[in-house]
A = this chain, B = another copy of it.
Amino acid sequence: MTEEMAGPNTPLIGNCWYVAGWGAEVGRKMLSRRILGRQIVLYRTADGAPIALHDRCPHRSMPLSRGRLEDDQVRCGYHGLRFDTSGVCTEAPALGRPLQAMTVPAYHLMERGPLLWLWLGKGEADETTIPNTEWLCDGCWSYGYGSMTLSSNYVGLHENLLDLTHFTFLHPGNIGTPEYARAPAHVTVEGNVVRIERYVADCAVPGIYASTGMADGRISRRTVSEFSSPGLHAACVELKPLAAEPGGRDLFRVRITHFVTPQDLHSTHYFFTIARDFAQQDESATERMRSDALRAFAQDAEALEAIAENQALDPAFVEKSMRSDQAGVTMRRILKRLADAEASP
């Protein structure tokens, strides 16, 4: 059974850090977001600490996000139960006292650079396992960012990210070039991490990288795409001009990081950052790369949604894989194994 692959109906995986949102989205106004099929309310205390609670009053299921913040606590907008940041009921107005039996699940929500990482798993949250995204935190890289919610399952998005042969056909003239589909690729697996390296020896500069200043020449392009966890895919790109000018720069690095957070089985929150180690003060470069990435990822979203419709129409249909699917298939077996492990008692 370990041969089986995860698909659009495989149960979601709880024991994983997922990005719940951008730090900048969450403040003193409550934000409700569905993650792994659970409704979560996000806010910050007066001191700025990010808080995540189940967005459902344990009393009569009212979304807490429809209530109001009172200092650091949440007042339910129905019968006025008040909960602190750990989910303990500190006041039940109808009783005139706190009510310990009434608690709301509170979740670990950790801030790392621009990201808020959420743990909804069964086991204890281990902060040391929050994915490393230091290049978004250390000020050495500039980056743009964006997000969208896809009407499709998250497995397909991971598979999309591991198989860049689609660049040539789905994203021509943006991040794709004709050589990309046939570029040699090498897959390595370490535990539950799947890495695929792809090397294009000689191509034109794709539109999205025009801000490198290499627009006129030819380049080599090396991409290492890594499925790091159910919630994270990280790609590192190295661009080298084939004929670097004397004294000119001979390496341009880009990191495109994809934060994949299932909303439920049928939809997926998709956050991304696109960081670079060049032209760091150039805001137009940030904007250009951001908008080109967003355009490409919107094409992915549209394709994945069309695929989801086809899959829903005939769920028994068995898709055929080929050699270039090695990374994706390996990743889907890992997801299936993780889901099975969580399902077993």
Contact = CB atoms under 8 A, between A and B. Distances in A.
Interface of A: 34, 37-39, 55-56, 58-63, 66-67, 75-80, 92-96, 99, 101-102, 156, 159, 163, 165-166, 168-170, 181-182, 303, 306-307, 309-311, 313-314, 317, 319-324
Nearest to A65: B306
Contact of A63 (B163, B168, B169, B310): B310
Most buried by B among A61, A67, A163, A303: A61
Given A60-B307, A93-B182, A322 B102 contact: yes
A31 to B, nearest CB: 15
B94 A165 contact: yes
A169 B56 contact: no
Contacts of A61: 307, 310-311, 317, 319
A55 B56 CA distance: 39
Given A306-B66, A320-B101, A320-B102, A93 B60 contact: no
Most buried by B among A34, A99, A307: A307
A60 B159 CA distance: 10
A38 B310 CA distance: 9
Given A170-B77, A306-B62, A313 B39 contact: yes
Contacts of A323: 94-95
How many copies make up the complex?
3
Given A60-B307, A66-B306, A169-B77, A322 B38 contact: no
Given A67-B169, A76-B169, 10 more contacts: A56-B317, A61-B317, A61-B319, A78-B166, A79-B165, A93-B168, A94-B182, A94-B323, A95-B324, A102-B320
Contact of A60 (B66, B92, B319): B319
A59 B182 contact: no
Nearest to A313: B39
A314 B38 contact: yes
A80 B169 contact: yes
Most buried by B among A39, A60, A166: A60
A181 B215 CA distance: 69
Most buried by B among A34, A56, A314: A56
A60 B317 CA distance: 10
B310 A169 contact: no
Contacts of A317: 56, 61
A96 B303 contact: no
